[in-house]
Amino acid sequence: EAQVTQNPRYLITVTGKKLTVTCSQNMNHEYMSWYRQDPGLGLRQIYYSMNVEVTDKGDVPEGYKVSRKEKRNFPLILESPSPNQTSLYFCASSPPGGQGGNQPQHFGDGTRLSIL
């Protein structure tokens, strides 16, 4: 089954404790992206990757890091999490064109992070 898998689905942690949210897709998609979703706001892009070893900042990159060493994986790293990073996070992938909306993005089911 074609899917984007995120782990963990839920995480409660404390300020300053480094964490990684993993994202893996099995559709051989070049494009991958991380978003955060907050109440009353649309999905906001954190980072994206057009292909292996190619990453770039989205609209809200502060406090986050990413890497793209393999095509299928795109982990999101919070080196020193803070309470304002409490949010619902989504990973997405698509064939080329997803960044510009010409291809639909396939989303994971989300990771709910709570930073205390």
Partner 1 sequence: KNQVEQSPQSLIILEGKNCTLQCNYTVSPFSNLRWYKQDTGRGPVSLTIMTFSENTKSNRRYTATLDADTKQSSLHITASQLSDSASYICVVSVGFPYDKVIFGPGTSLSVIP
DSSP per residue, 24-45: EESS--SEEEEEEE-TTS--EE
DSSP state of 28: -
- Nearest distance in Å: CB 34, partner 1: 12
Q: Which of 64, 75, 99, 115 binds partner 1 (CB under 8 A)?
A: 99
31 forms part of the interface with partner 1 (CB under 8 A): no
1 forms part of the interface with partner 1 (CB under 8 A): no
82 forms part of the interface with partner 1 (CB under 8 A): no
Count the site residues for partner 1 by CB under 8 A.
Answer: 21
Q: Which two tokens stand for residue 9?
A: 């689905």
110 forms part of the interface with partner 1 (CB under 8 A): yes
**Contact assessment for residue 107 and residue 91, using Cβ atoms and an 8 Å cutoff:** yes
C-alpha triplet 27, 109, 72: angle, nearest 5°: 30
43 forms part of the interface with partner 1 (CB under 8 A): yes
The rounded distance, in Å, linking the Cα atoms of 15 and 49 is 27
Q: Which residues of the shown chain bind partner 1 in the complex (CB under 8 A)?
A: 4, 35, 40-45, 90, 92, 99-102, 104-110
